Structure 1
Amino acid sequence: MTVSPYKPKRQARPRRPQHARKRAAKVWGRKKGMSFGRQLALAACIGIAGGLLFAFFPEALPGRNAPGALAVSAVESDALQPAERAGALVGAARINDGDTLRLGGETIRLVGIDAPERDQTCERRSGATYRCGEAARNYLAALTRGTTIKCEGTERDRYGRLLATCYADDVNLNAEMVRAGHALAYRHYSTRYLPEEESAKAAATGMWQGRFTEPWDWRQGSRIEATAATDCNIKGNISGSGRIYHLPGSKWYEKTQINPGKGERWFCSEEEAIAAGWRAARSPSSFD
């Protein structure tokens, strides 16, 4: 057998189909990694997306939710602000009455106390009536004016109001209202402020200067039962006929009831009644 001195020709490798070549190119591109230009483009997109995020959602910035950052002075804003995660609320107070206030959109009921209603009247030691409900509201307004109010509470009453203990700086507003005699310890639900109530009673401050109806009874329709002083037994009645006084023993004396809430009162003498603008009841044939 004769051997050829020439090397045999190399046989050509069969050419792969076009779709196979494209697939290999993609794989090869991934193995080599992303080009520098593409890396720059991707970094630019990430930067733009981050800028838009912080522009439309500033609360996502670090430090925005740090403790103390949300506590606001009452002078700066009247919006309700959570002071801390424990549930305290800090803001400017708007007073509704002697035991209710508002912080922003939240209604706060001072827990453990009960103040007279806005339209409630009480009686002074002299027997004259005054609007003790309005006096209680004014006192609470004076305590909270121009200062930061902090309220702490976790429960609500049946009206949806937050039951809370509130402070004006270091002053416990709940306790101070009772201590000043402008509210009572709400003993049906708590005895916490009974010592403050006893102190106000002993000092005859606020409502304790005279006679009053407990707020919880006032809301049920009870009123002060007027009684005469020892020698002041002339009844000063107000009716459709005007201001009329009735002497003991007169026809209408026993049937006449004195309501201090209407401005009616007792007199110690006819001279006193006449000087105050009352006139004597007419004869039994009259309509007085």
Structure 2
Amino acid sequence: MKRVLLAAVAALITAPALGSDASIIGTASVIDADTIEIHGQRIRIFGVDAPEGRQTCEDGKGKAYRCGQIGSFALDELLQRSQPVGCKAVDRDRYGRIVANCINSKGDNLASWLVTHGYAIDYPQYSKGLYAAEERVARATKAGVWKGKFMKPWDYRKLNR
């Protein structure tokens, strides 16, 4: 495990920087299914969008459930077993949050993990389809939100402003 973490940290540190806060490594806490916090810095996970905390989806039988909350809980459970997390900044969003690629101590790319397990979807407006393959896997296996019906998070936010 230490080798994986050291390799992930080395990759983050040697990647091209975006300002002085380009690499952040530490214990992550979950804000929601696509946002974490490390050392007081809010970090939006690059390339994915997860249902909002209050957003509901329907399971395969049409029963409503809080899919955003479920995604947050799942990410928290993953991180409880795989700290620390390292993030490499790629941008800042309109709210001032760092947008970053993040890897846990086991070498899992958090965005890829979220999409593969159906807790988030590829955000092609930003990712340019980077996680489209993971989304196809999630759809095929009916993982997470793909087991029933859901509104894409960006559409949900537009309707609930």
CA distance in 1, matches of 2:125, 2:100: 16
1-side partners of 2:141 and 2:135: how far apart? 10
Q: Distance in 2 between matches of 1:199 and 1:220?
A: 27
Question: Is 1:138 aligned to 2:73, yes or no?
Answer: yes
| Structure 2 counterpart of 1:171, from 104, 108, 113 | 108
Give, in whole Å, the separation in 2 of the partners of 1:127 and 1:163.
34
Partner of 2:159: 221
Q: Distance in 1 between matches of 2:140 and 2:104?
A: 25
State whether residues 90 and 101 of structure 2, in contact with CA within 8 Å, keep that contact through their aligned partners in structure 1: no
TM-score, length-scaled by structure 1: 0.47
Aligned-partner Cα distance in 2 for 1:217–1:154: 24
Residue matched to 1:160: 96
Give the distance between the partners of 1:202 and 1:118, measured in 2 at CA. 25
The runs of at least 4 aligned residues of structure 1 exceeding 3 Å deviation read 83-86
Which residue of 137, 142, 158 maps to 1:204?
142
CA RMSD in angstroms comes to 1.6
Alignment partners' CA distance in 2, 1:207 and 1:137? 13
Quote the sequence identity (%). 39
Greater fraction of residues in strand: 2
Amino acid at match of 1:166: C
C-alpha separation between the residues in 1 aligned to 2:79 and 2:86? Answer: 10
1:134 maps to amino acid: Q
**CA deviation digits over 1:9-58, x for unaligned, max 9?**
xxxxxxxxxxxxxxxxxxxxxxxxxxxxxxxxxxxxxxxxxxxxxxxxxx
Aligned equivalent of 1:104? 39
Q: How many Å apart are 1:154 and its aligned residue? A: 3.5
Measured after TM superposition, the shift of residue 220 of structure 1 is 1.0
More contact order relative to length (CA 8 Å, sep ≥ 6): 2
| Partner in structure 2 of residue 284 of structure 1 | none
Tell me, yes or no, if structure 1 residue 119 matches structure 2 residue 119: no
- Do the aligned partners of 2:45 and 2:111 also contact (CA within 8 Å) in 1? yes
Give 3-state SS (helix, strand or coil) of 1:135's partner.
Answer: helix
1:94 counterpart residue number: 29
TM-score by length of 2: 0.83
Offset at residue 209 of structure 1 (A): 0.3
Aligned residues: 141
> Any gaps of 5 or more consecutive residues in structure 2?
6-11
Distance (whole Å) between structure 1 residues aligned to residue 155 and residue 63 of structure 2: 21
Could you tell me which amino acid in structure 2 is paired with residue 155 of structure 1?
D
**Greater C-alpha Rg:** 1
Quote the offset at 1:84 in angstroms. Answer: 4.0
Q: Partner of 1:219: helix, strand, or coil?
A: helix
